[in-house]
Amino acid sequence: MFSYIDHLECTQCGKTYPHDELSKISPCCSKVLFARYNLDQLKADKTREDWTDRPSNMWRFAELMPVVNPENILTLGEGGTPLLEAKQLGSKLGMSKLLIKEEGLNPTGTFKARGISAAVSKAYELGVTGFTMPSAGNAAGAAAAYGARAGLPVKVFMPQDAPSANKKESFMSGSELNLVDGLISDAGRIAVTVAEEQNLFDLSTLKEPYRAEGKKTMGLEIAMQLGWKMPDTIIYPTGGGTGIIGMYKGFQELLELGWVSGTPPKFIAVQASGCQPIVKAFNEGKDNAEPWPNATTIADGLRVPGPFADYLILKAIRETGGTALAVEDSDMINAMYELATEEGIIACPEGAATLVGLKELLESGFISRDETVVLLNTGSGYKYLDLIKESN
């Protein structure tokens, strides 16, 4: 058997739905649908070692991925990114093990490739003939690329002031680029309307079940790269939260399979001070986030004022004993320089934000220096060179 997918499940009430029909949000509660797998059968049939000898990309985890027929996989080689030890930075901070998951090496330069490859492949398998994609920028670039790979049209909707690289990559891959006078939330509303009018499939994150499945593979890879152990802490730059939600789901599946032991890592959500709905909701002990007014930050991926899956992000943080904090834009830029000078990593501002968050939490004592900490660099800094000077 290739995929062990069994059904979809409403994350609010647990009602189940078939996985072989096109699905968006749950009809029962209008909440996120999760893919569920036959883990007992998988455990009986295979071991985690079955994954190790395969090509190093995210489809090595095919059993825990939604695509049923391997011929429907649309891949550009996403996943299989390195988990780099940051020795110099770690020792500067007095830490025993600081690791960086370098997602900048993905196709289209960000971790968005994982989620989009999974979602576009599954939609292709179910007969979709075109897509809409609202995005802060990077997801649009990825959707355009995977749409091109599928030979299917993509209409992307992104804020007018999204990074130039995102506009160019979308245009270059042949998608229809629509610039919106507003934020990703405004782009999202337009994309849904256009999808309904023109019979296209909307790829908004967590409003279809499979982008999270692609992002989940970051967690599966991290565990595999640590010799089937989970780190103590993962610091993640949180916009829509798909990465945190996906990785937490992935670790829970590994635990249920008995292929890792222990407790999942503490998830730490880093947001920008100019857009921190999750931080506010976390600090106030709420289960849902209020939309953040007048969201502004240079980290476009963090400019998500009202994440649809707020309740799942907050659940992942709380259940794992993590926390949420906001950092300043100027500190993110300084951290971009620091990651490059100390470790040779050209990080995106979102990824650099995790280093700022780490320093604050070391100082406050929330993270201790002997923990194994993974920073998620979600994308390549090569898309953001406008933020960087040529010389002093």
Residues 6 or more apart whose CB falls under 8 angstroms from that of 347 comprise 104, 335, 336, 339, 340, 377, 379, 380, 381
x-marked contacts with ligand PLP along 296-335 as a string, rule CB under 6 A: -----x----------------------------------
Asked whether 380 and 346 are in contact (CB, 8 A), the reply is yes
Q: Which does 240 bind (CB under 5 to 8 A by kind): ligand PLP, Zn ion, none?
A: ligand PLP
What CA–CA distance (Å, rounded) separates 355 from 357? 5
176-180 and 154-159: which strand pairing? Answer: parallel
| H-only helix segments in the chain | 39-45, 49-52, 87-92, 112-125, 138-150, 164-172, 184-198, 211-225, 242-257, 277-283, 310-319, 329-343, 349-364
Binding partner selected for residue 205 from ligand PLP, Zn ion, none, CB under the kind-specific 5 to 8 Å limit: ligand PLP
- Looking at the Cβ atoms of 206 and 224, the one nearer to ligand PLP is 206
Interface residue with Zn ion among 7, 16, 24, 28 (CB under 5 A) is: 28
Torsional sign, CA 273, 111, 222, 219: positive
The DSSP output letter for 308 is: T
Q: Which of 238, 271, 320, 354 binds ligand PLP (CB under 6 A)?
A: 238
Q: Which of residues 36-55 bind ligand PLP (CB under 6 A)?
A: none
Candidate segments 47-55, 120-128, 196-204, 233-241, binder of ligand PLP by CB under 6 A: 233-241
- Asked if 121 touches ligand PLP (CB under 6 A), the answer is no
Burial label for 27, CB within 10 Å (0-12, 13-18, 19+), is: exposed
Give the residue with the Cβ less far from ligand PLP, 155 or 211: 211
Report the site for ligand PLP in 362-391 (rule: CB under 6 A). Answer: 378-379
| Near ligand PLP by CB under 6 A: residue from 133, 136, 289, 314 | 136
Element (H, E) at 390: none
Nearer to Zn ion, 26 or 204 (CB): 26
DSSP designation for 284: T
Member of 110, 204, 225, 320 binding ligand PLP (CB under 6 A): 110
306 makes contact, choosing from ligand PLP, Zn ion, none, with CB < 5 to 8 Å by partner type, with: none
Residue 214 engages ligand PLP in binding (rule: CB under 6 A): no
Least Å distance, CB 325 to ligand PLP, is 15
Closest among 344, 345, 341, 339 to 358, alpha carbons compared? 339
Nearer to Zn ion, 32 or 289 (CB): 32
Residue 26 touches Zn ion, criterion: CB under 5 A: yes
Q: b/e string for 183-206 if b means 16 or more Cβ within 10 A? A: bbbebbebbbebbeeeebbbbbbb
Binding residues for ligand PLP, how many (CB under 6 A)? 18
Helix (H) / strand (E) element for 366: namely none
**Which residues from 340-359 bind ligand PLP, rule CB under 6 A?**
348, 350
Residue with tokens 């501002």: 349
Q: How far apart are CA 182 and CA 214, in angstroms?
A: 28
Query: With respect to ligand PLP, which residue has the nearer C-beta, 4 or 233?
Result: 233
Q: By CB under 5 A, name the binding residues for Zn ion.
A: 10, 12-13, 15, 26, 28-29
Query: Interface residues with ligand PLP (CB under 6 A)?
Result: 110, 112, 136, 138-139, 205, 237-243, 301, 348, 350, 378-379
